[in-house]
Amino acid sequence: MEDILQGLNEAQRAAVTATEGYVRVIAGAGSGKTRALARRFAYLVCEAGILPENILCVTFTNKSAAEMRQRIHRLTGDNDTGYICTFHSFCVSVLQEDSHAVQYPKNFLVLDNADIDAMLGIIYEERGLTLRHMTFSKARDMIEIRKLFKDPDYYRDMIAMPLAALEDKYRQAREVSDIIFYGYLYQAKKCFGLDYNDLIKFTLYIFAQDAAIRRKWQERLEYIMIDEFQDIDKLQYELMTVLCGYHKNLFVVGDPDQTIYTWRGADIRYLLDFDKAFPGTQTILMMQNYRSTPQILAASNALIAHNRTRMQKSLQPTRPDGAPVVCHHARTVQAEAAWIAGEIAALHKAGVAYRDITVLYRAHYVTRTIEEVFLREQIPYTIYSGVQFFGRAEIKDALSYLRMLAYRDDLSFARIVNVPRRNIGERRMKFLREAAQAEGRSLYETLCAHLDDELFKGTKARQFVGLIQSLSAGYADRPISEVLSETLDRSGYEQMLRTEGSQERLDNLAELKQSVYEYETTCGEESTLEHYLARVALLTNSDAAGGRDQVRLMTVHTAKGLEFPYVFLCAMTDGIFPSKKVHTWPAMEEERRLAFVAMTRAQDRLYLSEAEGRNFDGSPRYPSRFLLDIGPEYLTYTEQPKAGLLAEAKDYFALRERYLLGEAEELPFGPGDRVVHGVFGPGTVVQADRERAVYHIQFDEMQTPRAITFRAKLEPEP
């Protein structure tokens, strides 16, 4: 017992031992919340005697869930770690147990983006659509938006409507968006596939319609813990509220100052108003920071204090004093990149590994200049925006073979029936699709029925069918890793890669085998192929380039939840960070929270940089208002911006802030006013757009009006 509570500070200990009722933990950046969560789970199991299977611990990434399971295993020594998973993974567990309530089989498919794109490909081919009508990326976004807002009851069609009726709805659709949307619903139901939205929607539907199932899960989950509660969305909140309705033991951990996903549906109010929604809530503040130096924390605290929608608090340092937070003002973006490269080179010469250095930025496009300089100076780097491990072609192929054994679904069939080549190309696939449609069969069943057709002579279709049938026999009684190895061998897939000389792809398959083995050892008897495939479909990037000695480049959003010894936060220029797309005060507060998250990733050293210059409209580039928010007392400047530039920036920010708050006085200019622009000369104001913070001006020397930001210097015409 001493081991579980040992080394915890007062707030952490209070969180770990608060077992009953509603508990809200406000955990600042670097305050050890993951440690507290793991210890609380272990405390419930070891001290209170609660069965792990009666505890739900929700994390927001599968990587976090895996790390949590490892921590708890070390504390309890028990391989049974209950439900430690994401909301979506938990819903998979519910649906695999109770899918009969929605007339879906237990072995339903969990769809990822690659599956959705494959369905879109079928729809586009059937209905004569092209990417000119809508790209796949926009189509996926459109489907998600319709599911969340325009057609929130769509799932009722998937549950209650016969497949033929849903197909009719798709065939009769005429608008492009309707064709894609109903075509997708039809394709998904056809293969009993569910995407991330469906998982929660279907689970909530079951709980709403079947009181016995709802009560079963409520009674089972005696204790519910939710990490990163500031990122929770409406559907997740509804699910959580249902699940805790019996035992009323709900423990949430989050930091309102790290809410950076409102664009994905997160609502800061769920955390801030938790005590109002759940009367009797105990609130615990964990403010001791174990990550960053006092200098980094002082600058971070000064920044976030400017937000109004927050809980007033400050991170408290536990580490000794460190180096000051450095801020660099460059004359050009090229000079800024050169300064960053120079500082990194100096750090490396002093013995700092490249892998301990990370460059953060608001948007990917700002890396172009940095990359050019890094290449010239021979600084090794990697950008964290590559293809996710489970999205790589060879991994998708291997998993599609496994899905064929379990599901025989059309998506997997289409992906691997001709990989390696079996002479089953487009012509034969078109025949199979048309025949499957006419005969009401799956593509695999259709191929089996037509093996003797002339069309399939001279192909390896029979060998493929024989392979699937042979591998399917008894797979349920064998380890998944063994089934995978045999499949890759007998299918000829690994031999194909060897022939191609694709060592990197072979290495990726070896990594997949290792991940399957690790899954088997941690899940025990529950490690069925179906469970594994459902879990994999929910996985996010788990292979961020780890071992190589390279500087890491990533967006601030990507860096959420991570920490790095040395952090360079670049392009701190107004219009980049904060983004020029910010037009409201809540949006500006989210940008400031994002900057706060970026700064609190740094452990030992933090470097901030920006560059002056001109924007496309001729207006000057100002240092980010966030640098002014921090204040000069918390920053050590290598070179200060000119006093005139700072004065202009402060005037512009003050004016802009009034607009954001909806407190703007009369604008200096209105429609019809004559003005003079420093670059474009005299013109007439056509319109003042407060939402975008621009004037529309018809300049005398131009044929069409221009949108000019409020920050641009305009003088009244003499």
Residues with a catalytic annotation lie at 33-34, 227-228, 258, 601
DSSP state of 312: -
DSSP state of 573: B
C-alpha distances (whole Å) from 466 to each of 128, 456, 472, 533 are 35, 14, 10, 23
Mind spelling out the 3-state secondary structure of 231-282?
HCCHHHHHHHHHHCCCCCCEEEEECHHHCCCHHHCCCCHHHHCHHHHCCCCE
- The Cα 551–Cα 684 span in angstroms is 50
- The Cα 443–Cα 437 span in angstroms is 9
Is-contact 35 70, C-beta < 8 A? no
For β-strands 681-689 and 694-699, DSSP reports them as antiparallel
Tokens linked to 597: 């998250």
- The Cα 46–Cα 32 span in angstroms is 21
Is-contact 30 315, C-beta < 8 A? yes
- The Cα 30–Cα 286 span in angstroms is 10
Give the DSSP letter string of 4-66.
HHTT--HHHHHHHH--SSEEEEEE-TTS-HHHHHHHHHHHHHHTS---GGGEEEE-SSHHHHH
Nearest 10 degrees: Cα torsion 80, 82, 84, 85:
110
Nearest 10 degrees: Cα torsion 193, 88, 529, 420:
60
Tell which residue, 256, 258, 266, has the closest CA to residue 231. 266
Is-contact 95 104, C-beta < 8 A? yes
Q: Is 590 left (phi over 0), alpha (psi -120 to 50) or beta?
A: alpha
- The Cα 161–Cα 307 span in angstroms is 48
- The Cα 35–Cα 374 span in angstroms is 37
Q: Which residue has the tokens 């991940």?
A: 515
Is-contact 480 403, C-beta < 8 A? no
Is-contact 57 82, C-beta < 8 A? yes
Give the DSSP letter string of 601-639.
TEEEEEEEEEE--B-TTSPBPPBPHHHHHH-GGG-EEEE
| Encoded amino acid at 181, one letter | F
Give the DSSP letter string of 84-150.
EE-HHHHHHHHHHHHGGGGT--TTPEEP-HHHHHHHHHHHHHHHT--TTT--HHHHHHHHHHIIIII
Helical (H) or strand (E) element with 590: helix 585-599
- The Cα 111–Cα 193 span in angstroms is 6
Q: Where are the alpha helices (DSSP H) in 350-425?
A: 367-377, 393-406, 410-416
